[in-house]
Structure 1
């Protein structure tokens, strides 16, 4: 999937010096309120929307981050709840631990090594969201089937302080 079509360019996206790959980094900014902007945490929805088909993309993470998909209707104001019931299917790397953001509690993932580059796969009709190591296709986690029918699904990104997400071509 071309990265130039994955992110809304009006968000705080930059490129690393000497790299053409889009990078997401948390940076405090004084921005006007916008109903499409998350107001309490450094996350965003990709501008690409899915209403059918199978899709995948790769993201390289540095530091503290979470990636996945979200319903277009996900709550963007106030406390962000990051689980499927709230409309987010994601995995995160936090304090050196990988977690699937399941409900009612997260699922700690026992992996031989912490992934740096992750493949996110969405099967809209099958209701599946799966994560794998981008380097070798080893599975990381697959959420139980969900129903996305009638809802637009977007790539979803969250990045912690002093951290980066790099969208791979």
Structure 2
């Protein structure tokens, strides 16, 4: 068997393992990825004009009025999204986001070279690796086409883990200690930035902010 075939076989095996992880396995995996926790803060220079960021850069919510703020090449003009200040071009990193009480959100990572001035398509081909919530309980992974996800419970806190060299982006429900979805076998060349979209207010039902929370390491 040639080298590329062995590598493909390993990736397929890893993908299969991720799909059938037991609760105990996920807990051990979460303990492992939490070791790579990073301090993430939101970058106001990238925030869509309708978004409101907290002073500490840890929360983002939708505002009903478009803010009159200075245009710059980093800023999104569509998509109601914002990136973190911190970008990563190697290694592993992990962060957690509170999504409790929301009916609409996007979370994941985006490559630095994405087009920020046009409509956003949440696919790896367009530089996004995301999981999204729509209509209170419709979860999807941003593949092409999107992959519908059946979750046992609605996550209240989502953990995002990236292994740059392995081409892996994984999402976890921290509270229920379950695996949500993984993008595997990806090839990263750009710097990757944590990506957030709180969605519109949905007549007040989706007014809660997305909150970047400290990582609380799971105990035995």
TM-score of the pair, normalised by structure 1: 0.88
* Structure 2 gap segments, 5+ residues each: 1-36, 215-220
- What are the residue-to-residue correspondences of 1:90-109 with 2, within 5 Å? 90-95=130-135, 96-103=137-144, 105-109=145-149
Cα distance in 2 for partners of 1:7, 1:55 equals 16
User: Are 1:88 and 2:128 counterparts?
Assistant: yes
Shift of 1:29: 1.4
Cα distance in 2 for partners of 1:67, 1:85 equals 17
Q: By percentage of residues, which structure has more helix?
A: 2
Shift of 1:141: 0.2
* Structure 1 gap segments, 5+ residues each: none
Q: CA RMSD in A?
A: 1.8
Shift of 1:116: 1.7
User: Are 1:38 and 2:83 counterparts?
Assistant: no
Larger radius of gyration: 2
Count how many residue pairs are aligned between Structure 1 and Structure 2: 162
Greater relative contact order, per chain length (Cα 8 Å cut-off, separation 6+):
1
Q: By percentage of residues, which structure has more strand?
A: 1
Cα distance in 1 for partners of 2:152, 2:92 equals 28
Flag as ranges the 4+ runs of structure 1 deviating above 4 A: none
TM-score of the pair, normalised by structure 2: 0.69
For the residue of structure 1 that corresponds to 2:54, the secondary structure is strand
